[in-house]
Amino acid sequence: MEVRGHEDPWPRPKSCRVISVANQKGGVGKTTTTVNIAAALAMHGQRVLVVDLDPQGNASTALGMERDNQTRSIYHCLVEDEEIRKLAQPVPDIPNLWCAPATIDLAGAEIELVSLVAREARLKRAFAAYDTSDLDYILIDCPPSLGLLTVNAMVACDEVMIPIQCEYYALEGLGQLLRNVELVKSHLNTGLSITTILLTMYDGRTRLAQQVADEVRSHFGELVLDTLVPRSVRVSEAPSYAQSVMTYDPTSTGAVAYLEAAREIAFRAEGLNAG
């Protein structure tokens, strides 16, 4: 893994980068991307916190988090003002990586948030109370919707990463996501911007996949990472062993692709800081 990541050290951002991984379309690889990018960054010396904001809790499962009825989760942060520092758990076998887990309680959070003051900024307030000087990245795994949980993520972050699958319906619904990002930027978080688009589930045997990739690149230009994440059985298998593919099978095509994507993201930090 060290050799594949190249020998030169990955640059640390000057301040903690808070990135929401969002797309209201299900099955595009949001959770898989969040988990594996986070693991790859941590394996190369970056200090990373994953915030699981999806009630399904798949990111928590993939990172080996213990979850039961007694687990304090990100729900308690949003609704009961629990400190994130108390919720974050170290990820087994990957130093420098922590996870604030989700439990099924989060499914009711959107209803409970409606009556709370500054409901769109609950997560932002939690981050403000958290000393992020000892972190390089916070990655937020958003649910497949554009509801209050996703809005909280966008208000709390600086950057949005959008995974797009290389399939026929890839761009369907993307316009709504882009409009929502603009609305949040206009009214709630002027510093918000889409900085990264990652093409996932790429099948080089089909002309369609290449057409979708070309179309996305023509629309979004330099926002799109050079790396294409291929369809990979190993990537799909890894969560059933409570692991990311980076530890489950680091030599697989999926692991190598996510490693390269994470490397691109790390080296782009310099350009963002300069800008």
| Calculated CA dihedral for residues 230, 269, 272, 22, nearest 10 degrees | 40
Average pLDDT taken over every residue of the chain: 90
Tell me how far apart the alpha carbons of residues 149 and 30 are, in angstroms, rounded to a whole number. Answer: 15
- What six digits make up the tokens of 31? 């959770």
d(CA 87, CA 107): 18
R_g (Cα) of the chain, nearest Å? 17
Tokens of 135: 């972190």
Q: What element of type H or E holds 10? A: none
DSSP assigned state of 149: H
| Higher local confidence (pLDDT), 34 or 205 | 34
Whether the predicted pLDDT of 209 surpasses 70: yes
Three-class secondary structure of residue 44 per DSSP: coil
Paired tokens of 24: 């209201």
Please name which of 58, 74, 68, 51 lies closest in space to residue 26, comparing C-alpha atoms: 58
Q: DSSP label at 107? A: G
Alpha carbon distances (Å) from 13 to 16, 27, 69, 240, 254: 7, 30, 37, 33, 25
Distance CA 140, CA 22 (A): 8
- pLDDT by residue (tens digit) across 187-205? 999 999 999 999 999 988 8
Distance of CA 259 to the CA centre of its chain: 14
Whether residue 31 is predicted with pLDDT greater than 80 in this model: the reply is: yes
Instruction: Tell me the per-residue pLDDT of 141-186, one tens digit each, with 9 for 90 and over.
Output: 999 988 899 999 999 999 999 999 988 888 887 888 999 999 999 9
